[in-house]
Structure 1
């Protein structure tokens, strides 16, 4: 018979410290393994058939001596029935992996993906919120409770088709985000095969091109020939929201950038408004050269006590997007009430909206000036050129853009000074 190890007491086991494998007795083959770093764990040495096995039973002291002996004894009984515990554990892990793969829903996968990757990459709170809100609004009703392993092209199309033509920019982002979640799911072993949300060579063959759809559904803009009249009517309107819309027009900025503008971002002496990266759509700081008209508007604005917001709401906080839109809507309603058509987009014949003013600025730069295309794109804070080109472009054309914004201000005031 093999020599039986001395049965150690709990205190004796606790006092073991030398690296190596220490037999503790009580059950044949039960040892406490101590590594060079001092980590300690239980191991049962046993022969299964013709194979020598070292079976882990947990770490010490999380698993006590008494618990380790009970586990080792149960393992010995299992081996006596002809079952290999190592093989059994492997099969259990594989079965668990299959069960997890089959049961992980899109919503569960997205939450993990969002926590483990997106939150670590994005710093802009608005963009983080958009990731969550777009998928909750559009993807969850169709995909939320569906296992990621089972999602197919038809499921993705069910999400996208209702909004592809009417909200194409949003739909395109939803598609990209679904694709990212499913790519992550595949990398995590939760699904196999091609990504059903991939565009190239896949949905590209089933949905209209975003470029064509977006051209048809872009934000309605004020026609250039009507712009001076519209701007004159805007300037007759009272209220901070009207001044915010006026400033938005003069700077060709986005509504959120204007509504969130703070006095400490603006240098009236140099005429520069520096929008921090966290408030920009592209996540990069953006400098806006202010025309004389824009500076005059700011100098005439009252500064609220204990409020750094340039265009605050009545509660001295950032006003809502709808507040600015309401000013534009009232101008349109007044024109229609007076029997005039108002300010309709030249292509869609829909009433112009605040974001469409950026399109008006872009049309003006392209059609009525000879300024370079890139300059207008930079003014709109659009990404220009490839990553390599952007890496070598050290200037944001600030002073040249200052001249362009002065010309734009002259145009909107009805003084169309051609370059």
Structure 2
């Protein structure tokens, strides 16, 4: 045994096993053997570098196989890896060849895994819009946080960094997001890009760290824009440039869901008939919805730039539909301007919370109630399911023309009296 080989902690030799404390305190250059018949030892170089090594014999030839460095690779992890290698050799495998194979395979990041997963799963999506919506959630919330991380480096804490900021404020979105992260990582494991448990798994994992979605305190309805603030809000909004501003204007004027507007394509619009037809696949209720367009809504569409080859009406800078965050971020900026000046800005009259895009639908419903609009007419304008199953079966009309007058009157809520629509 050489002088270099003899640098073994006395306690470790006596017990024939290392401990976590011994590994943590080992600083003298040398080899610190773990014992246990695995051929595992900790090598400490003169420059202080420390790494795990396992002596193995393959085809009667002795080799040394690196297993990583502490503290990233703990003593327990090194022992597990060493045991796996022993088992592989016993069954006729070659850990050295496996390691060489892993090195030649390009490292895959989470962002790349998302793209590859979606390519493999294309047939499972209802349509291309569904696929884009699925990706948009990951692109908005997950990729900015863990997109550049290697798959094997992603742990539960990293998934929490994605979910925690929206877990109580956008619980439904966060829950769907968690499921999608889990699906991508599950695929990555089966495809051989990572090992171990899925850090995005809920039961027995994130369920111990996050409140159950069903138990998260609900904040009531989405914060709505007060009717008394509608004209001031509209003036503020229309003074702002950009596609998000146009999209938010259209959301307000049609009382549609922001996702329906963001996913809108020119093929759904009939400017001559002043009509926007949202296909069933993009509707929450799974039923086609016709939206009569007011003069002001048509004016918004006529202002929009067109991008060659782009079908999205409200497209993102790099093409494709706007993200969910684009509209919310714009409303937050509008609110922040007032808060910076010590003013209330645009807050919900009941909860006192800043208004959000989806709350504009509540604003419409409040206006309709105060204006004495027929309940069924208002609910149909919001694409809500109206009446019993029997009533719906016998109803032959969606009251389009009556709703056309309704939306013209609603548009007048946002403009000053006497102004042109």
What is the TM-score normalised by the length of structure 1? 0.49
What is the TM-score normalised by the length of structure 2? 0.48
Q: Which has the larger radius of gyration?
A: 1
